[in-house]
A and B are shown apart, each in its own frame.
Chain A
Amino acid sequence: MESIGVLMACPMNPYLEQELHKRFTLHRFWKVPDKSTFLTTHCNSIRAVVGNASAGADAQLIEALPKLEIVASFSVGLDKIDLAKCKEKGIRVTNTPDVLTEDVADLAIGLMLAVLRKLCESDRYVRSGKWKKGNYMLTTKFTGKRVGIIGLGRIGMAIAKRAEAFSCPISYHSRTEKTETKYKYYPSVVELAANCDILVVACSLTEETRHIVNRKVIDALGAKGVLINIGRGPHVDEPELVSALVERRIGGAGLDVFEHEPEVPEELFGLDNVVLLPHVGSGTVETRKAMADLVLGNLEAHFLNKPLLTPVV
């Protein structure tokens, strides 16, 4: 398979990169100085693209690669891939579901605890020597708080299961009601926000869910409410969220994703009621290896004419 050209959209995992290099002719897109010349030169040898949450395969790239057969994403989210275009051209698409579900759910709960109990802030307090001068403030109890989940897919359900162990009443909003669960369904995100203490974004990013957390939702969540985003930055109207946080119209936020990563609004750096993470939802040694193996497995299966492991299209 060494002659098969694989285009890796951006750096994402050294092990994956190494393995792709061993098995295929790997092109590292981020190292190419002149992308359009590169594409013209190599368009007939590239048969696969490996993308992730930052960069995938948009319509322009797909058009530039006439021999493209498969896009394998090192992520579960597909928002960086033009799925309609892939369907149209018969290009296969795979992602990495299930293997990262637990880590993302763990991080969501970790963010809830970090925001409510001010773990990062009080760690800063100790490291700066302030504890010698006085005790840190009271924080807010997490157990028993009402958790509202936007999107009750694999990740949403895993978050619910964990939050239940903290006696948190669970409610949710999703495209359709899931009658097989016992959790309370709200037909709109605004109603969900008005009836919970902690709102978590756990749905996929599509045209419909862009800015699903907007000014109205933020207002409904209220001055004691906390927003947790482990989905995608564009799920939230970021400028609205920032002003709500700065003006204390919302209680706090735990954010793993932002609209223009790696840029994070400066105003957030001065706040003590936010926790800011550099998109590490699936960022564990164990899970990234499992994700890489899934990408490699899907590519191998495709080029050996075997059934794909985790196809989306």
Chain B
Amino acid sequence: MGANDTQQPKELPMVLLHRLPSFNLPPNPSFRDHLRSHFHILDPHESPEPYDSFLSRHAHSIRAILPVGPTQISSELLERLPALELIVATSAGLEHIDLPACRSRGIVVTNASSAFAEDVADCAVGLLIDVLRRISAADRFVRGRIWPVEKEYPLGFKLGGKRVGIVGMGSIGSEVAKRLSAFGCTIAYTSRNKKESVPFLFYTNVRDLAANSGVLILCCPLTEETYHIVNKDVMAALGKEGVIINVGRGSLVDEKELVQCLVQGEIGGAGLDVYENEPNVPKELFGLDNVVLSPHRAVMTPESFEALFQLIVGNLKAFFSNKPLVSVVSNE
């Protein structure tokens, strides 16, 4: 990437690549070439110049910033970029961006959730079927050569007819709802606001949703309001046969409480892609057959990265040609 820097014509619009040294854009050559043929990518970590002076020198020209993964965009950084108008987020979550500061500055944020929504929804459904039908546990049973000895595998639970409660009805929640409807599940949801266009039953809070559901699927962003939104009360309301699927953020759930409920049989099972302190996963879960553990991979397919690249390039091109942006974050 460094060698190309000096060859780029200065007339191309400038985009600041904002990343921690350990993060970088996926090493997809066609994406990097495409990006660099349309934009002048400023990468402070590829420059011999110290970060602070590099930033100050370019600050007045930087109208758009591309944060890699969860690299933080704080209000301090925003203050150093007076010309900034656009942040093109590259991850599904936005909790690393100071959204209130952006709002007050009138800085527009585009998100990447539509690139990932289908893959995350697929993962959520896969985890749910796995927990109910004990797919991973049964695969262990067969590979452990136990089938010829034990003959019968314990029965699982039927998915059809289950009442599924979705927390967060954004792009990911809608894709989950669409899929599970085809399995004969009844869908209900909670969200900051009721969505008039959505045909499912709305609950104003997670506890009521849990009390009326057999499955809870977490698809909402992590904010101050949603931190530990699934707590002891909610788990008690969900009940002994309830299943929690988390493809949002680990801290949506009070993890200590969840582990205790699972170990003591106070809820029926869980499928988790995210945890409070990744990559650490509570050891107590390793011995449970009604728990399926995924290493924060819900978005990780080549297809979703391809969609992400299209979204990034699409949003940047639209911005610099004064056209409507593709995936603006709404304040709904």
Encoded as 1 (CB less than 8 Å from any A CB) or 0, chain B from 111 to 136 comes to 00000001101110111011011111
- Cβ of A276 < 8 Å from any Cβ of B? yes
How far, in Å, is B312 (CB) from chain A's closest CB? 18
The answer to whether A165 and B293 touch (CB under 8 A), given A277-B139, A278-B153, A283-B156, is no
- Cβ of B323 < 8 Å from any Cβ of A? no
Please name all residues of chain B whose beta carbon is closer than 8 Å to the beta carbon of A113 when the two chains form the complex.
122-123, 125-126, 129-130
Q: Is the CB of B133 within 8 A of A143?
A: no
Our pick among B141, B183, B280, B293 for the contact of A127 (Cβ within 8 Å) is B293
Q: Is the CB of B300 within 8 A of A139?
A: yes
Complex: how many Å from CA A283 to CA B297?
28
Please name all residues of chain B whose beta carbon is closer than 8 Å to the beta carbon of A269 when the two chains form the complex.
143, 145
Q: Is the CB of A110 within 8 A of B135?
A: yes
Please name all residues of chain A whose beta carbon is closer than 8 Å to the beta carbon of B302 when the two chains form the complex.
138, 140-141
Complex: how many Å from CA A39 to CA B1?
81
Please name all residues of chain A whose beta carbon is closer than 8 Å to the beta carbon of B147 when the two chains form the complex.
261-262, 264, 278
Our pick among B119, B160, B278, B300 for the contact of A106 (Cβ within 8 Å) is B160
- Cβ of B204 < 8 Å from any Cβ of A? no
Q: Is the CB of A120 within 8 A of B136?
A: yes
Please name all residues of chain A whose beta carbon is closer than 8 Å to the beta carbon of B181 when the two chains form the complex.
165
The answer to whether A262 and B151 touch (CB under 8 A), given A127-B293, A283-B156, is yes
- Cβ of B301 < 8 Å from any Cβ of A? yes
Please name all residues of chain B whose beta carbon is closer than 8 Å to the beta carbon of A38 when the two chains form the complex.
none
Size category of the binding interface on chain B: 35 or more
Encoded as 1 (CB less than 8 Å from any B CB) or 0, chain A from 136 to 158 comes to 11111111100000000000000
Q: Is the CB of A285 within 8 A of B136?
A: no
How far, in Å, is A51 (CB) from chain B's closest CB? 16
Residue of B nearest to A110 (CB): B129
Q: Is the CB of B156 within 8 A of A284?
A: yes
Our pick among A110, A167, A287 for the contact of B126 (Cβ within 8 Å) is A110
- Cβ of A195 < 8 Å from any Cβ of B? no
Please name all residues of chain A whose beta carbon is closer than 8 Å to the beta carbon of B133 when the two chains form the complex.
103, 106-107, 110, 280, 283-284
Complex: how many Å from CA A99 to CA B312?
48
Complex: how many Å from CA A114 to CA B155?
19
List which A8-32 residues lie within 8 A (CB) of chain B: 11
Residue of B nearest to A263 (CB): B148
Please name all residues of chain A whose beta carbon is closer than 8 Å to the beta carbon of B24 when the two chains form the complex.
none
Residue pairs across A and B with Cβ atoms less than 8 A apart, 18 shown, are A106-B133, A106-B159, A106-B160, A109-B125, A110-B129, A113-B125, A120-B130, A138-B301, A140-B301, A141-B118, A141-B302, A261-B147, A262-B147, A275-B139, A276-B143, A277-B135, A278-B153, A285-B157
